[in-house]
Every structure is written in C-alpha cells, then in structure tokens.
Amino acid sequence: MRLCLVSLLLLCAACTGQGTAHNTLPVDTLVRLTEAEARGLDPQMLSDLSSIRIASDQFEGLTRYTASGEVEAALAGDWSMSGDGLVWTFRLKPGIRFSDAAPITAQHFEKALARINDPASTSPHGALFAIIESINAPASNVVMVRLRNPFPQLPALLAHPAMAALPFHLITAKGEDWTSIRPLVTSGAYRLTDWRLNQQMTLTANPHWAGGRPKTAKLIWKSMDNPLSSMRLMIAGGADISTAYPANRQAWLKQHYPNMVHGSGYLATYYFAFNTRRRPFDNKDVRLALAMATDRPWMTEKMIAAGNEPAWGLLPPGLARKSAYRPAWADWPKEKRLSVAKQLLTKAGYSAERPLRFEIRFNSSPEHRRAAAALATMWRPLNVEATLLNSEASLHFDSLKRGDFELARSGWVADLPAPENFLLVHKSDAGAQNYSGYNNSAYDAALAAALAEPNPERRATKMQEAEIILAQDMPVLPLYFYISTALINPRITGWQDNIANIHPSYNLAIKR
C-alpha cells in the first residue's frame, strides 16, 4: 500500500506540473539521506564518504568548511604562517569545550596527530597528513604545526574531521569504547543521541559548540543505498536532502522538479582498482589492454548521460592543469584500440583457447552494477570472461583493504583541493588505502619531488609528471569524473552548490 501511495504522488506531480515535494516531515528536524550506513563514529578510523560527512557534523578542528565550500576558523580564532611557509601557529578561541563541557586545549591536536601516526591505531589517514612533521602545544591555547614542505592548503587539510578535537579524556579512560557513549561526546555542531543500525542516526545540537547553535537543532541521517528509492522518498516529501539519484532520471527531474535539482562540478574521480599484487593484474599489459578496450565516451554520453566527463587519468580538470590527462591511444578508432588490446593479451598468454577470467566486484548500487556490466560486455571481444560480484558497502571496502579482490569498484573524492590528495593514496607506503597494492619507486620519487617543490607552477608540473607515471602503469582504471548532484526539499535554506560538494548541516535551516 505504501508503494502505491508513493507511485500515486509521483504520477500526480508529473501530471499537474506541481514539481513540489509533499512534505511529511517534522517542522523542527532536518532529514538527510546518505548512500551508505556509517562505518563507525571515530573520525580518525573512517575514510568512506558517507561516514566522513556524518563525522563532520559532529567533530570540528582548528578550521572548518563553510556553506560555500571555503575554509574558515573554527576552534582556532586566528592563525599566522612563517616566512618560509613551514611553521603555522594557531591560537584557540577562549573557553572552547566538548559537548560534555570538558575543556578543549592545544594538547588535543598534538594527540590527534600522534594517534593517526601510531601504527597500533590502524588509522587510514597517515598518508593524508604526512605533510605534517609535527604538532606541538607550547601553551594550552597555542597549536604549532610544522610542515615537511610548504603547503598552502593546510587550513583545508586541518578541516578534515580526522584532525578534529577528540575527547581524549574518554579515549584514555575507556579505550575505543568512547564511541558507545550516548550522547556521543563531540566538538562540532551536533552530537549523536541515537543510532538504529541500517535505518537512521539522530543528532541533536551540541550545547557547548564553539560556533553557537546550528540553524536546525535536530538532524537525522538516513542510510539508503538505492538512488531510485532515495529519489522517490524525496519526491514523496519524506526527506530534505539526497545527494544521490539515478543519473538517467536527471532530465525527467529537471523537467518536473526544477526547484529541487542541484548540481555542479566536483573534485572526484570514478574508477575501478586492479589488484596488482597477483595474477592476472600483476601484468601491466593486461591492465593496459582492458583500459584500451573501455569505451569511456559511450559510458558518459549514453550510459550515464548526466554531463560527466570521461577520465583517462586521476586528476579532475583544472586541478593540476587546464585539461585532464589523455593518452594518445584515447583518440584511436575503436577497431585499432581493440586490435592492440588483443595483441597485448596474446603477449600475456591469453586467447580464445585460454580466455582471461576474473571477477568484477562492486558495492550495492544500480549505477555500480551498470558500470561493471558495461565493462564485462566491452571486454568480451577480447576473449575476456568477467563475472560480477555484488556486496554491501562495508563488506566491499573491507575486501579492498585486505586485497581480497581482482577488479573492484573504487574512486576518490577529494579531501581537499590539491592534486597530492588524489596521488598520495597510490604511494607504495600508503597502507590500506592503496587498494591496488601499486608499488613503483619511480612514481614514489616523482611524487616526493612534487611535494618538496615550493614554487606553485613548478609544483603543479611535477604533480602532472607523477600522475602520468601512474596513468601509464594503470593500477586503477579511471572511467569518468563525477559531478555533484543533489535533490533539495524547497523548505530548506542555506544550501550552496560548490565544487568541493561540502554542505555542513549547521548552516541549513527549515523555512517556517
């Protein structure tokens, strides 16, 4: 009966041209949809996008993002930088506290970096913060950050929730059990008060937040891994914000619900990771053959049809150059690409009598299934027999971290607008985030040289050189660059489209 009601609402809206959600929401609660269940609450142990978004609502550091995707002071009142760009000094706001009223001091940030770098913590963020040599607290209200190399994007890096103020007074006393406390002790705008697994997380305003009070006092995050279901719930008025809907419904949505559809460019790349640790993808020729046989323009223009650009490299357009990386073979006719691909596979020992067989793994989503099926179909003329394996998100990414896959859906969403943020996870010493197990000393050296370069133009050029090495080795198979899309209930104010695709809940309000 419920499905029939939703279908009726959709039909009525389309017929009448209303284009307005039929709100069934409480007037004092913001309801956001997320594509996957949060994988935990400790921001230093989380790396998936859904978990990071939810953590950002609860944990705040020296800086934070605004509604426009810019960086501003948060727990810090101001900061200064040394002439050589290697030492940054942050001064904390007076009287800042956690949600349980415990004081926040400079020592919390010193401990935060130490915990990330402690191998026993299993934090996946060591590579992300490797640019930081040390964090010291010369006074209770002064945080001194020393860098290994100049890094102008440091304020953006410190806005990541992994470097937020964490309640070490509880972590020390209770070990990792601190995340089971309700309300969760936090430093950001909200604190978790209830978590119903696979349903929703309820957050309420932190009474001691340094930013005052969020514009909406109560927030619910609902997990929905099906973009079509998310879209239907939004149109039926059952949620306020969804950042996922089927790409093939975009034209229909713009026609019938133009006041709900939002979108912009985005610093994110969609790719599949090869497991380079073992056969068959320890062979570069095999990886290159499949890359050549992949019709990216067809995928973006026909399969997705939402304005995405095809990708042959890792860095989105404009991040390190005027245009994205594109190999010479990308412009070859399809017949030539397939012919060379067959030659590469023959050289690697595969043929019609000995076909290349492997499994394509992806996490639950119609879009990921469609991409995996398209790849398997494109590769059949090469005597490739690829089977599909679907699993829910947490199991999928656990398998990637363990290296338990052959070819798997992955991708990267920028933590900050810097090319090294895309490139560092593929270093040989990047740990669990280096899903492919890529290990190339030439790439490591090229990236190290780029990181050490203080001149912005030369730095960008060296980043490009490192990316070219990576792209030619093909440990990952880039398919396209993301665009950010969202459906926003017209009752919501404060949402601003931005290339960072960061939309903090504290700035969102409900029209009265």
Say whether both 452 and 430 belong to one domain.
Answer: yes
Residues 35 and 115 in one domain: yes
Distances (CA, A) of 341 to 36, 289, 381: 36, 4, 10
Q: Which value, to the nearest 10 degrees, does the dihedral of the CA atoms of residues 504, 507, 511, 512 take? A: 130
Tell me the Cα Rg of the chain. Answer: 23
Statement to judge: residues 275 and 240 lie in one domain = no
Q: Are 170 and 185 in contact (CB under 8 A)?
A: yes
Q: Is the peptide bond before 280 cis (omega within 30 degrees of 0)?
A: yes
Give just the sign of the alpha carbon dihedral 179, 183, 188, 190: positive
Is residue 184 within 8 Å of 38, Cβ to Cβ?
A: no
Do 450 and 384 have their domain in common? Answer: yes
pTM for the structure as a whole: 0.73
Interatomic CA distance for residues 430 and 402, integer angstroms: 14
438 with 448: CB under 8 angstroms? no
Are 219 and 293 found together in one domain? no
CA angle 28, 29, 30 (to 5 degrees): 130
Any idea what DSSP says for residue 38? -
Give the 3-state DSSP-derived string for 277-344, with helices as H, strands as E and coil as C: CCCCCCCHHHHHHHHHCCCHHHHHHHHHCCCCEECCCCCCCCCCCCCCCCCHHHHCCHHHHHHHHHHH
**Are 173 and 217 within one domain?**
yes
Q: Which residues is 314 bridged to in the sheet? A: none
**In angstroms, rounded to a whole number, what is the distance separating the alpha carbons of residues 470 and 370?**
26
Give me the domain span that covers residue 470: 265-484
Question: What is the residue whose two structure tokens read 């197990």?
Answer: 437
Helix (H) or strand (E) holding 79: strand 76-81
> Same structural domain for residues 353 and 475?
yes
Q: What is the pLDDT of residue 140?
A: 97
Could you tell me the two tokens for 165?
A: 């103020």
- DSSP letter string over 144-194? EEEESS--TTHHHHTTSGGGS---HHHHHHHGGGGGG-SSPP-SSSEEEEE
Same domain, 242 and 297: no
How far apart (Å, rounded) are the C-alpha atoms in residues 280 and 148?
38
Backbone angles phi, psi at 247, to 5 degrees: -60, -30
Q: What is the CATH number of the domain that holds 282?
A: 3.10.105.10
- For position 30, what pLDDT does the model report? 97
343 shares a domain with 213:
no
- Which CATH number fits the domain that encloses residue 84? 3.40.190.10
Contact 115, 135 (CB under 8 A): no
Task: Tally the domains of the chain.
Answer: 2
What are the backbone angles phi and psi of residue 449, rounded to the nearest 5°?
A: -65, -40
Give yes or no: residues 46 and 104 share one domain. yes
Query: Same structural domain for residues 114 and 6?
Result: yes
CA distances from 403 to 318, 398, 409 (A): 32, 9, 13
Closest by Cα among 83, 60, 59 to 72: 60
284-292 vs 334-347: helix crossing angle, rounded to 10: 160
Q: Which DSSP symbol is given to 238?
A: S
The predicted structure's pLDDT at residue 349: 97
Q: Which amino acid is at 209?
A: W
User: Tokens 């370069």 — which residue?
Assistant: 453
Kindly state whether residues 494 and 480 are assigned to the same domain. no
For the chain, how far is it from start to end, CA to CA, in angstroms?
Answer: 31
Q: Is residue 344 within 8 Å of residue 356, measured between CB atoms?
A: no
Which pair of structure tokens corresponds to residue 266?
Answer: 């985005």
Per-residue pLDDT of the chain (512 residues; tens, 9 = 90+): 333 433 433 334 433 344 555 677 888 999 999 998 999 999 999 988 899 999 999 999 999 999 999 999 999 999 999 988 899 999 999 999 999 999 999 999 999 999 999 998 889 999 889 899 999 999 999 999 999 988 888 999 999 999 999 999 998 765 568 999 999 999 999 999 999 998 999 999 999 999 999 999 999 999 998 899 999 999 999 999 998 888 778 889 999 999 999 988 889 999 999 999 999 999 999 999 999 999 999 999 999 888 889 999 999 986 756 678 999 999 999 999 999 999 999 999 999 999 999 999 999 888 899 999 999 999 999 999 999 999 998 899 999 999 999 999 999 988 788 899 899 999 999 998 899 999 999 999 999 999 888 777 888 899 999 999 999 999 999 999 998 889 999 999 999 998 888 999 999 999 98
